[in-house]
Amino acid sequence: MLESELKVDGNAIGGLLREFFTVEMTAAESTCAGCGKVHVVGRVDVYMNAPGVVVRCPSCTNVLMRVVRGGGRVWLDLSGMRCIEFTDPEA
Amino acid sequence: MGFISRGFKGRREPAADSSRLPPGQYLVRDFPVLSAGPTPHTPLAEWSFTITGAVDADKTWSWEEFRKLPSETVTKDIHCVTKWTKLDTSWTGVAVSTLLEGIDTSADYVVAFSDGGYTTNLPLEDLVDGKAWVAYEFDGRPLEPEHGGPARLLVPHLYFWKSAKWVRGLSLRNEDEPGFWESNGYHLYGDPWREQRYWGD
């Protein structure tokens, strides 16, 4: 398999993030805790052929987010994301 | 998650011998590629393998030195936590016991570390006595980068996320320290026969 087939962009997790955050997140802006660069969620690097979903910074490959689902539970690690800005659903 | 690729699921095969299939697993004939990040391509001239952590002195091998160590070829069934099992896979590599020869440690645990930052934790006793290898050939050919080449850990009695791709060393620890997946929901030990997939299983 080509490596390019293993990596997709952040639009692939739009549905998943909507489940957790209840709003459209692909236009949200995330700040990488590693390099400080800001990326639109729709353009981050996503690896889904794995035991969980791994989201990486396109600038430095630092892990921004990890999502594991199984046995009726979800584990969501956002420690690689210093901040995420998104539209206030109440606005 | 709607996105599931062919590589992730593999082709399903009926169970030829169910006694070799752990609970919740199905058989594949192909070799699915799983990846949590970009594939590293470390040149062999820059590659090394290191035993570090709770040891008196680190022990390091260059690729050339590592390949001169006694090797073994083993045939093992492998079980991925994403539910595929592949039977009779053939690997050549160096037994972890060989790498630990002459190392004096009080550690009971190990964190395997890899190019790209991946880590996984294991009890030391699960890596010795013919239970684990640092493998550099699959099916008689050099291990491809997408499958963890130039060398990956092979611990076939545990779920395959423990068999760290692109492994560069073992850090011996006095405490069990969760690795990349183990710190985010996956089981600290990961015995497929006890279906230890997630925390609390």
A51 → chain B, closest CA residue: B82
Q: Is residue A7 a part of any domain in this protein?
A: yes
Q: Which A residues 52-71 touch B at CB under 8 Å?
A: 52-54, 56, 61, 63, 66, 68-71
Q: Is residue B5 over pLDDT 90? A: no
Q: Is residue B14 over pLDDT 90? A: no
For the segment B14-26, the average pLDDT, to the nearest whole number, is 83
Complex prediction ipTM? 0.93
Q: Is residue B4 over pLDDT 50? A: no
- Tell how far CA A38 is from the center of its chain: 13
Of A15, A66, A68, the CB nearest to B2: A15
d(CA A2, CA A5): 5
Of A1, A6, A77, the CB nearest to B184: A77
Q: Is residue A91 a part of any domain in this protein?
A: no
What does the H/E/C string look like for A39-73?
EEHHHCEEECCCCCEEEECCCCCCEEEEEEEECCE
- Give the gap in angstroms from C-alpha A91 to the nearest C-alpha of chain B: 28
- Give the gap in angstroms from C-alpha B180 to the nearest C-alpha of chain A: 10
Total domain count, chain A? 1
- Quick check: B34 and A52 CB within 8 A? no
Domain boundaries of chain B, sorted by first residue: 46-194
d(CA A68, CA B186): 8
Of A13, A54, A70, the CB nearest to B37: A54
- Quick check: B3 and A6 CB within 8 A? no
pLDDT per position as a tens digit, B36-64: 999 999 999 999 999 999 999 999 999 99
Q: Is residue A90 a part of any domain in this protein?
A: no
**CATH superfamily ID and name for B46-194:** Oxidoreductase, molybdopterin-binding domain (3.90.420.10)
